[in-house]
C-alpha cells in the first residue's frame, strides 16, 4: 500500500490520505458535502497549523510507537478531527498522499449527516483550543465571554427592576451566575479541563479569580453609574472590561498550560 511508503523509508511518522490530491477519476456527488469538508479542513488547519487538504479522509497510517501513546475518545466521525488535533501537538513528520475514492449516495449506504458536521466542529474546537496560542484562545473566548456577558446583563436587569434588588446585590449575584455559565463553556470549548475540586489550592485560585472579578465588576458598575450613566450602560461597560480580566485569570491561573495545573 502506497501510504506506508514514507514510513517504511524512514521519512515520515504519519501519513494521511487525501481524496483531493488524486489525479484519477472521481465520482461526482454532493456539492455541499464538498464545501462542508473544505470548511472543516480549513478550520482544523487554522488551529493545528497544518496544511492538509482533506482532514476528514479515513485513510491514516501511523508508526506504532506514536499511535499507542494516543488515547482515542471519539467513536464516530469525530475521530478524524480528534486524531489530527492530537498528532499536531507532537513533533512528527506528517505526509499527505492521494488515495483512490469512489463516493456513495445515501441510497448506497452513506451515513454522514449535518449532525456529524456539527460534531466535527465541536471536536475541532474541543481538541485543539487547549493547545492554541493565547491570542487564538482569546478570539474563541470572546464568544464564551459574550454568552456569559448576556446572562450577566439580563440577570442584573431582572434583579434590579423586577425584584427590586439593590444594585450592590444585583451586580455580584448576576456576576456569579454568569461565572458559572462561563466556567461550563470554558471547559467544553476553550480549555478542556475541569477543576478537580479535590485540590485545596485549585479551589482557592478559582474562587479568588471569581471573587476578584465580581468585585471589579461591581466597582466599575457603580463608578460608571455614579458618573451619570444608566444602569444598563454601567453594566455593559463593566462586563466588557471584566471579560478581559476573566480570560487572563482563567488562561493563566485557573486553567494554566493548556489544562495542566502548576499546583
End-to-end CA distance of the chain: 48
For the whole model, what pTM was predicted?
Answer: 0.68
The predicted model gives 13-25 an average pLDDT of 81
Amino acid 41: pLDDT: 93
Last residue of one domain, picked from the residues 130, 156, 185:
130
Same domain, 122 and 169: no
Residue 231 parent element (H or E): helix 231-249
Alpha-carbon distance values, 150 to 1, 21, 98, 125, 237 (Å): 54, 45, 47, 22, 13
Residue 194 has pLDDT above 70, yes or no: no
Contact criterion met (CB below 8 Å) for 82 and 124: no
Block residue for cell numbers 486524531:
83
pLDDT digits (tens, 9 = 90+) for 120-145: 998 998 888 888 888 888 888 888 88
Q: Label residue 223 by pLDDT band (50, 70, 90).
A: very high
Same domain, 224 and 152: yes
Same domain, 31 and 125: yes
d(CA 239, CA 25): 56
Same domain, 179 and 111: no
**Residue 262 DSSP SS3:** coil
d(CA 112, CA 114): 7
d(CA 215, CA 175): 9
Q: What is the mean pLDDT of the chain?
A: 82
Same domain, 7 and 126: yes
The domain in which residue 102 lies consists of: 2-130
d(CA 43, CA 244): 24
Same domain, 48 and 65: yes
Same domain, 78 and 11: yes
Specify the number of domains making up the chain.
2
Q: Label residue 198 by pLDDT band (50, 70, 90).
A: low
Bridge partners (DSSP) listed for residue 61: 15
Residue 7 has pLDDT above 90, yes or no: no
d(CA 211, CA 196): 19
Judged by average pLDDT, the poorest of 27-31, 84-88, 155-159, 164-168 is: 27-31
Amino acid at each position: 500500500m502506497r501510504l506506508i511508503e514514507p514510513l517504511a523509508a524512514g521519512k515520515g511518522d504519519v501519513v494521511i490520505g487525501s481524496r483531493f490530491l488524486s489525479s484519477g477519476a472521481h465520482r461526482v456527488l454532493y456539492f455541499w458535502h464538498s464545501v462542508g469538508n473544505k470548511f472543516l479542513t480549513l478550520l482544523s488547519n487554522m488551529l493545528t497549523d497544518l496544511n492538509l487538504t482533506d482532514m476528514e479522509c479515513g485513510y491514516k497510517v501511523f508508526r506504532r510507537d506514536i499511535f499507542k501513546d494516543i488515547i482515542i475518545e471519539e467513536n464516530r466521525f469525530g475521530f478524524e478531527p480528534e486524531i489530527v488535533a492530537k498528532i499536531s501537538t507532537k513533533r512528527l513528520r506528517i505526509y499527505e498522499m492521494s488515495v483512490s475514492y469512489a463516493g456513495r449516495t445515501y441510497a448506497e449506504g452513506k451515513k454522514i449527516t449535518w449532525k456529524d458536521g456539527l460534531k466535527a466542529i465541536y471536536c475541532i474546537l474541543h481538541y485543539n483550543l487547549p493547545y492554541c496560542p493565547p491570542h487564538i484562545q482569546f478570539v474563541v473566548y470572546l464568544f464564551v465571554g459574550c454568552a456569559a456577558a448576556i446572562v450577566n446583563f439580563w440577570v442584573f436587569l431582572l434583579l434590579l427592576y423586577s425584584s427590586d434588588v439593590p444594585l450592590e446585590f444585583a451586580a455580584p449575584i448576576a456576576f456569579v451566575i454568569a461565572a458559572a455559565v462561563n466556567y461550563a463553556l470554558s471547559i467544553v470549548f476553550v480549555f478542556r479541563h475541569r477543576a478537580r475540586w479535590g485540590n485545596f489550592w485549585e479551589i482557592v485560585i478559582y474562587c479568588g479569580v471569581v471573587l476578584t472579578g465580581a468585585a471589579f465588576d461591581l466597582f466599575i458598575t457603580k463608578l460608571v453609574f455614579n458618573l451619570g450613566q444608566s444602569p444598563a450602560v454601567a453594566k455593559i461597560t463593566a462586563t466588557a472590561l471584566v471579560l478581559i480580566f476573566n480570560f487572563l485569570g482563567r488562561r493563566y491561573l485557573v486553567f494554566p498550560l493548556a489544562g495542566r495545573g502548576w499546583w
